[in-house]
Amino acid sequence: SLKFTIDGLKANVEGKEILKGVSLEIKGGEVHAVMGPNGTGKSTLASALMGHPKYEVTEGSVILNDEDVLDMAVDERARAGLFLAMQYPSEITGVTNADFLRSAINARRGEGNEISLIRFIRQMEAKMKDLEMNAEFMHRYLNEGFSGGEKKRNEILQMLLLEPKLCILDEIDSGLDIDALRIVAEGVNALRSEDRGFLIITHYQRLLNYIQPDFVHVMMQGRIVKSGGPELSQRLEAEGYDWIKEELGIED
Ligand code: ADP
Ligand code: MG
Ligand code: MG
């Protein structure tokens, strides 16, 4: 089983406080959606959890089961089972997708427990087939010249192969047409299990028709200001965020 607890997390980017005390608990089997206007710190939250060096945590705690995540280096977090499907995946020339994936899998499995080449290729081919990705993507340089939608599918491919404990998806739906969205959502849903949790950042209710969340949280100005069930995302879709601002007396 899984218990992931974020408590009072504050983080700075270039000296400016962006996260102003985020608290959230994710248990095994749960899908949590985080919604909110642009620039409210959603991607910052994802980056801070992953240990990105630009995002300086100043207060709070992050605990994965009994382990202190904030004490871990970036690679230790990945090994512990944290994964981020990025909003803007980077292109890496000179490293093929297959090479990258194999090193990522081996980093997660640890020394002495590396995956065999044949087994890796078999798994990669199977998951690419599930995601309806052309086999040529195996040998292309990582994300280089990939369309927006192809990058997103490739992030999900990584997730399917790494089988993380906590999957963070940052706007995985942006740039996806409706067929790609369904395929990506099926990939996510296939991974749902009692020993895994999901944090899904999105602007749009549409994704949540395919990946049904257990909880929906609204983030504004670096805080989670409201939490509820799926009905909350439906209301946001219909009415926007103004009613929450009014309810809470938040100024723009
Ligand atoms: P969201 O994902 O909710 O749209 P972000 O977390 O990307 O918002 O950004 C929150 C705020 O932090 C914005 O004002 C943004 O400009 C700033 N910010 C985030 N990342 C960086 C960065 N790497 N450098 C400078 N400012 C950043
Ligand atoms: Mg954004
Ligand atoms: Mg963002």
Ligand 1 closest atom vs CA 170 = 2
Question: What is the rounded CA–CA span in Å between residue 26 and residue 30?
Answer: 6
Residue closest to 157 by CA, chosen among 98, 216, 215: 98
pLDDT, tens digit only, all 252 positions of the chain? 899 999 999 999 999 999 999 999 999 999 999 999 999 999 999 999 999 999 999 999 999 999 999 999 999 999 999 999 998 888 999 999 999 999 999 998 988 999 999 999 999 999 999 999 999 999 999 999 998 889 999 999 999 999 999 999 999 998 888 888 999 899 899 999 999 999 999 988 889 999 999 999 999 999 999 999 999 999 999 999 999 999 988 877
Question: What is the rounded CA–CA span in Å between residue 92 and residue 85?
Answer: 16
Phi, psi for residue 6 in degrees, rounded to 5: -105, 125
Q: What is the pLDDT of residue 153?
A: 92
Which residues have CB atoms below 5 A from the ion given as ligand 3?
42-43, 87
For the CA of 86, the nearest ligand: 3
Determine whether the shortest distance from the Cβ of 15 to ligand 1 is under 6 A: no
With a threshold of 0.90, tell me whether the complex ipTM lies above it.
Answer: yes
> 216 is written with which tokens?
């929906």
Nearest CA to ligand 1 atom 1: 39
Could you give all domains of the chain from N- to C-terminal order, each with its CATH number?
Answer: 3-88+162-248 (3.40.50.300)
- In which residue are the tokens 């100043």 written? 58
Q: What is the pLDDT of residue 250?
A: 83
Distance (angstroms) between ligand 3 centre and the Cα of 118 equals: 37
Nearest CA to ligand 1 atom 24: 13
Q: What is the pLDDT of residue 175?
A: 83
Which residues have CB atoms below 5 A from the ion given as ligand 2?
38
Determine whether the shortest distance from the Cβ of 13 to ligand 1 is under 6 A: yes
14-73 pLDDT tens trace: 999 999 999 999 999 999 999 999 999 999 999 999 999 999 999 999 999 999 999 999
Determine whether the shortest distance from the Cβ of 18 to ligand 1 is under 6 A: yes
Question: What is the rounded CA–CA span in Å between residue 83 and residue 69?
Answer: 13
Q: What is the pLDDT of residue 209?
A: 93
In order of 191, 206, 209, the CA distances from 195 in angstroms are 10, 26, 23
